[in-house]
């Protein structure tokens, strides 16, 4: 059965030799990429992730805040006595966890201690402790020198604190309490704080030729040899050599 007249080739796009539509014929085919650009055309691997930055060391503690007493808390009689009796000696009064502290100038440390021992309303006849604290982040007044006092007669306590610069000398209180002799020597040995008027200020725990002061917070963890030599063993050998030379 006839399917009807066949369209001429010029009108039938499916027949070979028939011309393409104008739009299709006009669109050029994309040119193949040159062989040299094959690598650049390939997908690149993702860039390596950046390494996280090393964590920064926490800042050094700035030192104790020395809390002021509450406004409604009256000052003890021995605090007001030293404030009025030694004008300008007390720089600050602190109260923390039930303890009173008078912060004084380093040069007036012995004067304040003598006053607190002798005045009738004070009578702090017992030096229970004398020590120091190192705050390297406070370069102008690096050390806190702290004396803990107790009155065996009036049963009251107070602390006397002085902020001391590195290399600054503090008047000795060995003439106020003889027990301060050993305590001041320990502070000198461990922290390097010196005391004027001390009868025998020398090392007590470390050898006389020991390098540095072990309780300072910047004291090297590797030991004394780290200060001047690469190895502590080298320092010990040099020290032994000096001893052998003296014996010979």
Q: Which of 137, 191, 139, 128 is nearest to 165 (CA)?
A: 139
Residue 172 CA to residue 220 CA, distance in Å, equals 29
pLDDT digits (tens, 9 = 90+) for 114-152: 999 999 999 999 999 999 999 998 889 999 999 999 999
pLDDT digits (tens, 9 = 90+) for 72-86: 999 999 999 999 999
The pLDDT assigned to 238 comes to 75
Alpha helices (runs of H) in the chain, residue ranges in sequence order: 22-26, 38-41, 77-85, 109-118, 180-191, 225-228, 232-247
3-state secondary structure of 241: helix
The pLDDT assigned to 247 comes to 77
The pLDDT assigned to 242 comes to 76
To which residue do tokens 């320092």 refer? 235
The pLDDT assigned to 14 comes to 54
Residues of the chain with pLDDT under 50: 1, 25
Residue 214 CA to residue 236 CA, distance in Å, equals 17
The pLDDT assigned to 210 comes to 87
Residue 129 CA to residue 170 CA, distance in Å, equals 16
């Amino acid at each position: 059965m006839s399917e009807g007249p066949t369209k001429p080739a010029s009108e039938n796009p499916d027949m070979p030799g028939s011309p393409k539509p104008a739009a299709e014929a006009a669109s050029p085919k994309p040119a193949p990429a040159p062989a040299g650009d094959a690598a650049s055309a390939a997908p690149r691997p993702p860039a390596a992730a950046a390494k996280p930055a090393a964590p920064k060391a926490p800042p050094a503690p700035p030192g104790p805040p020395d809390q002021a007493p509450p406004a409604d808390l009256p000052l003890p009689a021995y605090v007001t006595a030293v404030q009025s009796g030694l004008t300008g000696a007390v720089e600050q009064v602190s109260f923390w966890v039930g303890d009173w502290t008078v912060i004084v100038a380093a040069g007036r440390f012995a004067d304040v201690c003598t006053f607190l021992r002798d005045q009738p309303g004070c009578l702090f006849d017992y030096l229970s402790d004398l020590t120091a604290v190192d705050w390297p982040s406070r370069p102008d007044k690096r050390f806190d020198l702290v004396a803990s006092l107790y009155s065996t007669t009036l049963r009251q306590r107070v602390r006397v604190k002085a902020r001391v610069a590195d290399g600054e000398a503090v008047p000795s209180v060995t003439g106020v309490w003889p027990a301060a002799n050993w305590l001041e020597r320990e502070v000198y040995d461990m922290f390097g704080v010196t005391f004027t008027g001390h009868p025998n200020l020398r090392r007590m725990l470390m050898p006389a030729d020991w390098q540095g002061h072990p309780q300072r917070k910047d004291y090297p963890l590797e030991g004394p040899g780290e200060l001047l030599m690469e190895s502590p063993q080298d320092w010990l050998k040099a020290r032994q050599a000096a001893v052998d030379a003296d014996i010979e």
